[in-house]
Structure 1
Amino acid sequence: MPASTAPQPQAPVQPSPCPTAAATPAVFPPVDPAHVSNCALPAWLPRFAFCTLKTRCIPLSEDFVRYLNADGIFLPLDADGRHPAGYRSSDDNYSDSESDNDTDDVGGENNDLNVHPSFPDLQRDIEDTIAEFGGAVFPKLNWSSPKDASWVATGSTLKCVSPSDVYLLLKSSDFVAHDLAYAYESCAGWKGSGRGSEDVACVDVVPTRPARFELVLRKWYELMPSMEFRCFVRDNVLIGISQRDVANYYDFLVRDSAELQSLIQEFFTSNIQGRFPDANYVFDVYINQRNRKVWLLDFNPFSPETDSLLFDWSNILVATIPPSPPSLPDFRVLQSQTEAVGSAHPAYATNRLPRDAVDLSTGETIDSFAERFRRNVYDAI
């Protein structure tokens, strides 16, 4: 991140329309499946393609959904029936015959999933999109990106340059698993994921999953975390804006608060307000630091499952609509590094160790462990 210039007087920021939550109880408006579905990227993209990053949505087959839900982390064969190029070395003692002997282990309820699945049509779609987008993409499912699994990818990044990169991230992510089975859990009437006999969903009230899953591939950009912001909308009024990276203090955000606040308010008024089908929602934006252009990144449900970052949800829920007197939305950034909520532990640390990884761990350094984990994933097929 470039160093900031000498401190300058801070432009005054409008008073907050979000009062402290006093004695008024914070009550969320009911969340229904339609609201959650409206926040899925394939649902909102047609309406907001003009103000978001380049994106392609690829419908996924049920075979691929079953592959994502299957236990273990393993990669499909490529379109030619070959193992993907990976991290296998000459001393790994790998042989096709040894792998083939493991097919009996699949057994049981996973018999319909070949131990060596292959998705040639999907592979071609991914390759075509990567080529169209300049050689690299950022993957998501309907709602979530596999950002909790970046540790397993080369370079610890979500930058994907091949279908195997996409598969590995999706298969390793708890966030993606949440999309597959728990996307509607914030809805009233939701009873479970329906994935097992002891966890049955009330399908007459809330769906267990969307009718169709889609792979979302976005053109890869080197975005600066400091310029990502989360915006809270209640009754079609932009109430609050929070810095997304709450683990780091950026002095230029304090200095430029008034300008950034106005840019986001103008973007909301011109491009978002009245276009999204719900009155209450959360959206994320990115501001290009060089030319100050604002880009829409995502929509999120207006529910406690969405991280409120530098706000307390009670502030958003009891804010006066419209604010009186009229004012710009409350704009919150860290005022010093001592306010940062980060710690010595990396982000999503609790999501970093699936059972497969724990079984492989022998106490070595994270770099050597990650390399050995990747080799085992490729060799397992």
Structure 2
Amino acid sequence: MKSHEILACSFSEWYPLFKKVTFPSKIIPLSQEFVDYLLADNLVLRSDQALLTYDKKDGSNSSDSEDDEEGWAKAESETPALEAPHFEDIDKEIATTIAEFGGKAFIKLNWSSPKDAAWIALNNSLQCHISADVHLLLKSSDFVLHDLTQPFKDCEDQNLEETPVKYDLVLRKWVEINPVNEFRCFVKNKNLIGISQRDDTQFSPYIENEKEDIVRDIISFFKEQIRPKFRLDNYVMDVFRERKDKIVLIDINPYGVTTDSLLFDWNEDLLKITISEASETSSNCVSDTPDFRFIPEESGIRSNPLRRYCVPEDIAHLTSGEDPFKLMDLLKLRSGTQEHNADSD
């Protein structure tokens, strides 16, 4: 995977080519000041209704409430220097765009949406109604942080720090999508080699019943709308099958480990498909049918990988065994508590 492939998959690069086959969107260029604000630890959100102070380091937050004046006064005294940032031009564009989109919008940066931060929103979704919703989700997301700090982490290129990145905020018209109708498609050497059920956390008999039509619709869409226009040989595209014979492009992603392979495996399945495809090409007999994978029964359902973002980092490390020292500290604390209780008795 090369840095130019990452840049080509940036939203502002591919959206002008596919406006007619994707959701209405607005691209708002971000100033360096706003990017620095997203990277800062502390967050103060201000709106007509509420003020929220949030610390990214420990995940704590406090909000103003008439029922908890004492707690708010304490939080206010602890963070006297924090002030709500003012990005009037950007916030005005956000408000105008959301209004144009019917009062709600989906957001993302160049490559990633803050889907790992949906749990922190009041509605537990990425649906944004005001600029404060946008700020909160962007500031709370590790996926967005990756876009801002390590977009070329998995690239083979050298001197990646010299690769310039122009960051954008993307607002998309909110559309209710049944996850069962979303699919991730893998394109190698301009050939569609694999299709995966996008949501691999649920089983749906619909996909089994419609699998042949699904594959046929996606192949037609790819050949007619995407392949002739997109310059990369290798990439991953997400699509939504709105109905029979109607496919909508959702996103275009880099072809590599940066992108979740879902029901495939980058080091095994996709590599084997690529080798097989190369062999068929040399024999002048290229297969026109991609490998389609979906959950065939309820026993194949996977746990939702985003759930781990809903718990404090310390707890996640403790339960996964990533930090053995935290486990030792917990056992020592437990032992000390037991000894104290014994002495009290």
- Class of the TM-score when normalised by the shorter of the 2 chains: 0.7 to 0.9
Q: Secondary structure at the match of 1:319?
A: helix
Shift of 1:189: 4.4
- 1:230/1:142 CA distance change after superposition, 3 Å: same
Matches within 5 A, 1:58-69: 58-69=28-39
Query: Would the aligned equivalents of 2:3 and 2:157 in 1 still touch at CA under 8 Å?
Result: no
Aligned residues between the structures: 296
Please state if 1:54 is matched with 2:24: yes
Match of 1:242 in 2: 196
Alignment match of 2:217 (pick from 263, 270, 277): 263
1:149 equivalent to 2:114? Answer no
In 2, the alpha carbon distance for the partners of 1:121 and 1:354 equals 34
Partner Cα distance (2:23, 2:160) in 1: 31
1:339 CA displacement: 1.4
| Counterpart in the other structure of 1:349 | 307
Q: Deviations along 1:261-290, whole A, 9 cap, x unmatched?
A: 00000000001113212101111100114x
Which AA in structure 1 matches 2:177?
L
For 2:108, which of 122, 140, 150 is the aligned residue? 140
1:73–1:356 CA contact under 8 A, matched in 2? no
Q: Which residue of structure 2 aligns with residue 71 of structure 1? A: 41
CA distance in 2, matches of 1:188, 1:206: 9
Q: Which range moved further: 86-95 or 172-181?
A: 86-95
Q: 1:102 aligns with which of 80, 84, 87?
A: 80
Hey, what does 1:297 align to over in structure 2?
250
1:62-96 deviation per Cα after TM superposition (whole angstroms, max 9, x unaligned):
11111110013432x45xxx775676311333469
Q: Which has the higher strand share?
A: 2
1:136-285 aligned within 5 A: 136-189=104-157, 205-207=159-161, 210-285=164-239
- Distance, in Å, in 1 between the alignment partners of 2:187 and 2:194 is 7
**Shift in alpha-carbon separation, 1:177–1:325, aligned structure 2, 3 A:** closer
SS across alignment from 1:256? helix
Q: Look up the equivalent residue of 2:248 and give its one-letter code.
A: W
Further displaced range: 66-75 or 236-245: 66-75
Question: Could you tell me whether the CA contact under 8 Å between 1:183 and 1:209 is conserved in 2?
Answer: no
Asked if the contact 1:35–1:278 (Cα under 8 Å) also holds between the matched residues in 2, the reply is yes
Distance 1:357-1:52 versus aligned 2 partners, 3 A rule: farther
Q: Distance in 1 between matches of 2:221 and 2:245?
A: 11
Superposed displacement of residue 188, structure 1: 1.7
CA distance in 2, matches of 1:277, 1:231: 16
Deviation at 1:100, TM superposition (A): 9.3
Q: Structure 2: give runs of 5+ residues left out of the alignment.
A: 53-62, 317-345
Cα-Cα RMSD: 2.5
Query: Are 2:2 and 1:32 aligned?
Result: yes
On the 8 A contact 1:239/1:319 being kept in 2, the answer is no
AA in 1 matched with 2:135: Y
Amino acid in the other structure paired with 1:319:
S
Report the equivalent of 1:200. Answer: none
Gaps of 5+ in 1: 1-30, 104-113, 191-204, 359-381
Distance 1:167 1:325 in 2: 48
Aligned CA distance change for structure 1 residues 99 and 295 (closer, same or farther; 3 Å):
farther
Question: Structure 1: how far apart are the matches of 2:306 and 2:14?
Answer: 27
Paired position in structure 1 for 2:328: none
Find the aligned partners of 1:209 and 1:149 in 2 and give their Cα distance: 28
Q: Which residue of 2 aligns with 1:328?
A: 289
2:39 alignment partner AA: N
Any conservation in 1 of the 2:236–2:253 contact (CA below 8 Å)? yes
Please tell me whether the aligned partners of residues 72 and 356 of structure 1 are also in contact (alpha carbons under 8 angstroms): no
Q: Percent identity?
A: 39
Partner letter of residue 35 of structure 2? Answer: V
C-alpha distance in structure 2 between counterparts of 1:341 and 1:35, whole Å: 30
Alpha-carbon displacement from aligned partner over 1:171-205 (angstroms, at most 9, x marks no partner): 11010111110111011246xxxxxxxxxxxxxx1
**What is the identity, as a one-letter code, of the residue corresponding to 1:297?**
I
Task: Tell me if 1:312 matches 2:273.
Answer: no
Contact 1:184 1:208 in 2 (8 A): no
- Distance in 2 (CA, whole Å) between partners of 1:212 and 1:348 is 28
SS at match of 2:276: coil
Q: By how many angstroms is 1:130 displaced?
A: 0.4
Distance 1:84 1:46, change over 3 A: farther
Quick check: 2:50–2:64 contact (8 Å CA) kept in 1? no
Alpha-carbon distance in 1 for matches of 2:172, 2:211: 29
In 1, distance between residues paired with 2:313 and 2:299?
A: 35
Task: Assess, with a 3 A threshold, how the Cα gap between structure 1 residues 99 and 129 changes in structure 2: closer, same or farther.
Answer: farther
Q: Which residue of 2 aligns with 1:365?
A: none
TM-score (norm 1): 0.72
Identify if the C-alpha distance between structure 1 residues 274 and 101 changes in structure 2 by more than 3 Å, giving closer, same or farther: closer
1:340 maps to: 301
